[in-house]
Amino acid sequence: MDQSRDKLEQRIKDFIETHGMIAPGDTILMGVSGGADSVCLFLLLWKLYRDSGVKLCVMHINHHLREDAAEDAAFVQELCDRTGVPCVQADVDVEGYLREHKVSSTEEAARILRYEAFRKYLAELPGDAEHKKLAVAHTLNDNAETVLHHLFRGSGLKGLGGMQPKRGELIRPLLCVNRDAVETYLRKTGQSWRTDSTNEGDDYARNRIRHHILPLAEKEVNAQAAEHIHIAAQQLSAAEDFVCASLQTAYDAVVIGQKDGVRIDREAFRKLHPYLQERLALRCMQEVSGCAKDITARHVHIFLGLFTLPCGKMLDLPHGLFALRQREYIELLRKN
């Protein structure tokens, strides 16, 4: 018996139980592309839960972006037929979506359509919503790449927290292991997998991080760079949870809602930590404007400058906002 293989299975099981991902009576929809990560996810969940009362099923999405995409679909179907796990195949039109919607890349369009298909099918499965889960095969390498991608693009604390083991119906059972461990496990079980040729090129920013930046860090800085980034992301995620709780307390004490905007107690606001001031200002601007994504750090700093201006001063702000400095408070309002 291969002890290393058993250790990986136990590690995944412990990780699932620690984060409360799967419970008796759950229905688990596994997203399986045919790649190493998703095949490993399939085998592990099948071995761990096939006799536990947990219902397992598979969904394979054909993006029609490669000539051999049909071979991936056939591979996944054969895997499910061999193990007796129900499998549904779905097709999405990535090129059509790109023509009709403004998205950053083909990769992003494929991701959006993939998760739409997953969640639509999950909702159609029998059972209560709380007992239906979507399992995807992200590893800690994926998390490290995501954190670096967010960092390079200027993300805040929330983005640097990376992927979460569980978020709503979405679960990531492999997030505690690296890609090498996944491929080693598959080789030892004698299970093959498919290779996505689009992952081999450098057309996408994520691929350039995967193929060049992270390997260079592991070679020149620390061989466990991906693991360390993953651990740092977990700590940053916990810090974000703490900040959010503090932010809510501050919001309740400082902000008063009113028609077309909010009123912020000036003196109470000035006593907050500078970081909480920025986050509170951002939250107020997003809520009043209704633009959750389009408020930048520059807009926040312009707004914060009003707190030091003389009484009666007014600022025009982006996204249909204006702010007025009163004697005891700041009003942030939408323009009529």
pLDDT in tens, 74-131: 999 999 999 999 999 999 989 889 888 888 788 889 999 999 999 999 999 998 999 9
Distance CA 185, CA 178 (A): 11
Distance CA 161, CA 147 (A): 7
Q: What is residue 149's three-state secondary structure?
A: helix
Distance CA 62, CA 70 (A): 7
CATH of 3-235, picked from 3.30.420.40, 3.40.50.300, 3.40.50.620, 3.40.1280.10, is 3.40.50.620
Q: What is the pLDDT of residue 198?
A: 64
- Spans of all domains in the chain: 3-235, 259-334
Calculate what percentage of the chain has a pLDDT beyond 70.
95
Q: What is the pLDDT of residue 204?
A: 67
What is the model's pTM? 0.86
Query: Given a cut of 70, is residue 197 above it in pLDDT?
Result: no
CATH of 259-334, picked from 3.30.465.60, 3.30.930.10, 1.20.1530.20, 3.40.50.1820, is 3.30.465.60
Other CB atoms closer than 10 Å to residue 87's CB: what's the count? 19
